[in-house]
Chains A and B, each alone.
Chain A
Amino acid sequence: MNAEGRIKKGCEMQDSVNRREFLKKSIVGSAAASLLSLEEKILLAQGQGGEKSDGPAAESGRKVPMGKIGKVTISRLICGGNLTNGYAHSRDLVYVSDLLRHYFTDEKVMETYEICEESGINTVIANVHGGKSEEQEENTVRVFNKYWKERGGQIQWLAQTNPQVDDVTGRIQKAIDNGAVGAFVQGGVADEFVRKGRVDLLGKAVDFIKKNGLIAGVGGHEVRTTMACERAGIEADFYMKTLHSTNYWSARRPNQDKDVIDNGSADNYWDKEPEKTIEFMKMVTRPWIAYKVLAAGAIHPRDGFKFAFENGADFLCVGMFDFQVREDVIIAREVLSGKLKRSRLWLA
């Protein structure tokens, strides 16, 4: 199926699984039970007792709400690809990325995608370059192709790409050729281009993506990256910009001033100044996909999702293990169907 077909199918994918069935499914074989709220536990108990809920809060939360970027319909909760490609960002814990690479066999990645689709997530963001080593290079493309062709999977791929100064389009082209519905410049690359005064390269990448009929975005960990794009008048369809609170133990310490892309050894923060991000994004009229909303695993989704949506994100990109998807979907649904203290307009 081509990209257009997948986009269409993605719109139709929202299932009708009701919320209690969903909770029951999510609990079986999972360690998630203890993390559920009282309300979630009551719903689960009702489900087990065969009772029916007519409450508006429960009913309104049935589906993962969707938004649109260009013509592409995208679930507001997007599955991130860092975990499947072995990027754990686990501070100084030296083994975790290795563990991910062993855990996420092709089979496990496809199982995760299937659970995403069953649960109403219709988009995955993953780097076209599937990992650090040569043998991992083809991970993303190989698994998507397998998943789409052999499993009949419909999940959309929004490609993270790493253009280089002397080859802006090569990896973007690879994403286009392999069925991506959109592409964006990876945050670290964009930060580096802007820092070197080469915002023009971001413009070229965006133009190239759009000329090929895909939605185009620019990533960034530093708010000055997004600012530079706006100032330069780059017509991105969306921004990928990190957003998380600083309310976690391993957060940025007072003596840590490095840009995110220079902080690889500690690997513990991805939005140095969230208040500046939030303020600036209020003025930006393009859709915003926020990422690292859980600070790579240190913030509970209940807090991280709420923080991101309340502070302006239109979509969240969240790395998820198979055993986390259903719970994350429940939480995203609840947050979005509840009262949100949000001042930024929805821009998608």
Chain B
Amino acid sequence: MSQSPIVEMKDISISFPGVKALDGVDFRLFPGEVHTLMGENGAGKSTLIKALTGVYRIDEGVISVDGDVVQFQGTADAQEAGVSTVYQEVNLCSNLSIGENVMLGHEVRGRFGVNWKATHEAATKTLRKLGLGHLDPRASLASISLAMQQLVAISRAMVTQARVLILDEPTSSLDSNEVEQLFSVMRQLRDEGVAILFVSHFLEQVYAISDRLTVLRNGQFVGEYATGELDQASLIGKMIGKEITALRSLDSQSAARGHRQDAETVYLARGLGRKGSIEPFDIELKRGEVVGLAGLLGSGRTELARLIYGADRPDSGDVEIHGHKVAVHTPAAGLRRRIAFSSENRRDEGIIRDLTVRENLVLGVQAKRGWARPLPRKQVDEIVDKYMVELGVRPSDPNRAMRNLSGGNQQKALLGRWLATKPDILILDEPTRGIDVGAKAEIQEQVLQLAAEGVAVIFISSELEEVVRLSDRIIVLKDHRMIAEVTNGPEVSAETIVKIIADHSTEQNAPVARAHKTKEVAL
């Protein structure tokens, strides 16, 4: 890189109440490169982008564009300076025409106001530059596919003569052909000297398109690498903060637990899937079994769990529970089938902050009974007494508001809420995230005990060691696809899982890679 960077961010820090979202992060973006920002959710990728585009104010540090120190006041300001952003959700107006979306705010004006003919011509010119000349600028935006809309959004960015293009997870809702089309546009822009900042959770895509990577972890700068010099395993190691050697030293602690191969099958799904959420998968759950879901954040773990519970409606596949074919399309149906799901988003999808612990505890049972049949006081007391003691919720006063409990105790109360519904299948999504070590150990213990009592548990966690320690079987996910199933044993460790994720080349089943190949052959 002989040129000077077009964007340089030095020592950027941003604090939100109680959290340091970015802590002294450096970032450099050069003209004519695709630079990927890597990191788990919460690592600070979006915050960094928002700092650059002026959505957030930085507390410390310097941002310079083209050598000039800048402090943008918002998106419009950034656009003025040639920094355009295309977000994960297509941020266009589907009530307007394609051409208008491209030109909004930059319409060609004549003596009689906006000159629509000239505006549409200008739109077509811009669209043609990105190989979208076949689109009719007068057609409604809603009439074209999401992928096309994403490309239109990029065209819009180019109207403002963007020299820096930020693409924040643009591929998450695209299928592989559409991704390929996006990539060819990105390559073309890169060759024209546009600097592209790319964010994606899909490792294969990152390796297919980017020239360099910057890795963030917990709001801190980990490093800047050329894509070629960092293999997938090392990248994952840097993202989750464990060197591969450290992972290697951990061995499986679940070896002592016997496998329950012969237990009765509680749940069986074939080809269950939902477009844009998770590719069709098969899964079988047996009585008294802990099945761990492993994969990076955004790999489809939560999506899989939500499909099983009925929080999302599957669009393909069959489900059998206790051998009966059933449809679980709503949470209420999930509850009726004795499936319980504790969400990873404790604050928004778990606790009701302003209700008491008592009220929070009985919510699950009450929802199952239906609102017309309130629980008798005696039964409420029984449930509350039982689970407060059994799970060790502290403080032990059930009449406190939920918001006054620590994260760990909130999590225990939530676990109690679902246990009170007497589930056959219990799905725990990140039950130990953000809670202290003591509470964590108690919850892990509880999971194992529940399994011993015959509950089938699906355990989701970003901490691979924890998954390996607790699970009888581990299902590995990557890029919204189930890629492997591992029966736990002494030889299985966190490193095994990392290796599976890193080594899993999408070549056998991913059309993205296939598209590459055919292209090469054709050339």
A joins B in a complex: no
A residues at B contact (CB < 8 Å)? none
